[in-house]
A and B are shown apart, each in its own frame.
Chain A
Amino acid sequence: MSVKRDSFSVAITVGAYGSAFGAAAVSADFTVLQTCLLSLLLFSGASQFAVVGVIAAGGTALSAIATSTLLGTRNGLYGLRLAPLLKLHGWRRVIAAQITIDESTGVALAQNNEEDMKKGFWYTGFGVFFFWNLFTLAGALGAQAIGNPSAWGLDAAVPAAFIGLLWPRLTDPKSWVLAGLAIVLALSFTPFVPAGVPIISSALLAIIIGWRR
C-alpha cells in the first residue's frame, strides 16, 4: 500500500462526510460560524455529531460536553500510542495533538515501517483536517442540497475505510481474537450504555489480552 494513496483516499472519504456534519449542525440551529468552529477546534467527527445530537434532542450544554468528551477519550489513547513514534516537542506536539484522530491513527498503523507511519499520520491528519473543514462549510451552506448521507453510501464508506486500514494489521491470532471480542463487547453494550461507552470499553480488552505474553 502506498502511504500517500491511503492518506488521500481516507481524507477525501471522511472529509466528504463533513458535509453531513455541516448539514446536521445547521439543521439543529447551530449557526454556520459555530458549525465551522466545531470542525476546526473540536475536530473529531463522532464527538462533533454528539454535540449536535445532544443539543438537537434538547439536552443541556453540560451533557453535550460530557458525551463529546467521552467519545473523544480514545484520541488521548491514540496519542499514547503515537507519541513515541512521532517524537513530539513544542508546537509540533500541539499540532499533532489536534490531528490525532481515528483516521490519522488508522493510516499510521496500517504502514509497515516507522518512516511511512509518520508520513501516514501527518498526511492523513492534515488531509482530513482540510477536507473535513471544507465540506463542513459546504454542508452548512447547502444543508438541504446534500440530503441524506445514507443515500450516498457515506455512512458505510466510513466504517469500510476503517476496516480497510485495520485489515493488514490483523496478522496474528491475538489481533483476530481481540478484534472479535471488541465487536461482541461493543455491540452487546450498545443498547445499555450511552453512545461512546461501548467503543471506549473495548480498550479494557486490549489491556487484558496485552497483559500476558
Chain B
Amino acid sequence: MSTFWIAVLGSSTLAFMTKFLGASVPQSLLNHPRILRINNLIPVALLTALVAVNTFADKTKLVLDSRALGMAAAITLLIAKAPFPIVVIGAGLTSALAYRFI
C-alpha cells in the first residue's frame, strides 16, 4: 500500500474512533456538577483557540494579514448586532478586499 493510502485510511479510522469514543462515555460519569461545568466550558475554550489560530497563525508562525481585518469586521458587525450570515459575508468580503489591495 502506498504512503498516500496508509495516510488516508489510517487517519480516517483514528478520526472516527476519536469521535465515537467521545460520544460513548457513560452518562453517569458526566453527571457530577464539576464535570458538567468543565464539559460546558471545553467547547468555548477550544473554539476560541481555533478562531485565534485560524486568524493569526500560518502553520507555526504568527502572522498579521488580511484575515485579521476580516476578523475585525466580524467583531464590529457582532457588536452592531448584525445577523449571522452578514457577519460571515462581511468578514469574507473585508478579507478578500484586504488581500487584493494590501
Name A residues whose Cβ lies closer than 8 Å to a Cβ of B.
1, 5-6, 9, 13, 29-31, 34, 37-38, 41-44, 46-47, 51, 53-55, 60-62, 64-65, 68-69, 72-84, 86, 88, 93-94, 96-98, 100, 102, 105-106, 109, 150-167, 169-170, 174-175, 178-179, 182-183, 185-187, 190-195, 198-203, 205-207, 209-211, 213
Residue of B nearest to A150 (CB): B99
Would you give the shortest CB distance from B69 to chain A, in whole angstroms? 8
Q: Which residue of the partner chain, among B21, B44, B50, B87, contacts A160 with CB atoms under 8 Å? A: B87
Complex CA gap A194/B99 in Å reads 27
Extra A-B contacts (6), CB below 8 Å, given A38-B12, A160-B70, A186-B53: A74-B50, A84-B30, A153-B92, A160-B87, A162-B47, A210-B41
Task: Give every chain B residue within 8 A of A183 (Cβ-Cβ).
Answer: 48-49, 51-52
The answer to whether A34 and B74 have CB atoms under 8 Å apart is no
Q: Which size class do B's interface residues fall under?
A: 35 or more
The answer to whether A190 and B92 have CB atoms under 8 Å apart is no
Task: Give every chain B residue within 8 A of A211 (Cβ-Cβ).
Answer: 34, 38
Would you give the shortest CB distance from B27 to chain A, in whole angstroms? 6
Interface of A is mostly: helix
Name B residues whose Cβ lies closer than 8 Å to a Cβ of A.
3-12, 14-16, 18-25, 27, 30, 34, 37-57, 59-62, 66-67, 69-71, 73-75, 78, 83-85, 87-97, 99-100
Task: Give every chain A residue within 8 A of B100 (Cβ-Cβ).
Answer: 151
The answer to whether A198 and B84 have CB atoms under 8 Å apart is no
Task: Give every chain B residue within 8 A of A209 (Cβ-Cβ).
Answer: 41
Would you give the shortest CB distance from B38 to chain A, in whole angstroms? 4
Q: Which residue of the partner chain, among B4, B23, B62, B87, contacts A191 with CB atoms under 8 Å? A: B62
Most buried by A among B48, B70, B87, B88: B48
Complex CA gap A154/B91 in Å reads 9
The answer to whether A187 and B62 have CB atoms under 8 Å apart is yes
Would you give the shortest CB distance from B51 to chain A, in whole angstroms? 5
Complex CA gap A77/B22 in Å reads 6
Task: Give every chain B residue within 8 A of A105 (Cβ-Cβ).
Answer: 43, 47
Task: Give every chain A residue within 8 A of B4 (Cβ-Cβ).
Answer: 29-31, 34, 55, 61
Would you give the shortest CB distance from A54 to chain B, in whole angstroms? 8
Complex CA gap A201/B53 in Å reads 12
Complex CA gap A165/B52 in Å reads 14
Would you give the shortest CB distance from A75 to chain B, in whole angstroms? 5
Task: Give every chain A residue within 8 A of B6 (Cβ-Cβ).
Answer: 61, 65
Would you give the shortest CB distance from B65 to chain A, in whole angstroms? 8
Q: Which residue of the partner chain, among A37, A74, A163, contacts B75 with CB atoms under 8 Å? A: A163
Would you give the shortest CB distance from A120 to chain B, in whole angstroms? 12
The answer to whether B11 and A51 have CB atoms under 8 Å apart is yes
Complex CA gap A43/B14 in Å reads 11
Complex CA gap A29/B2 in Å reads 12
Known: A82-B23, A97-B20, A190-B53. A157 touches B88 (CB 8 A): yes
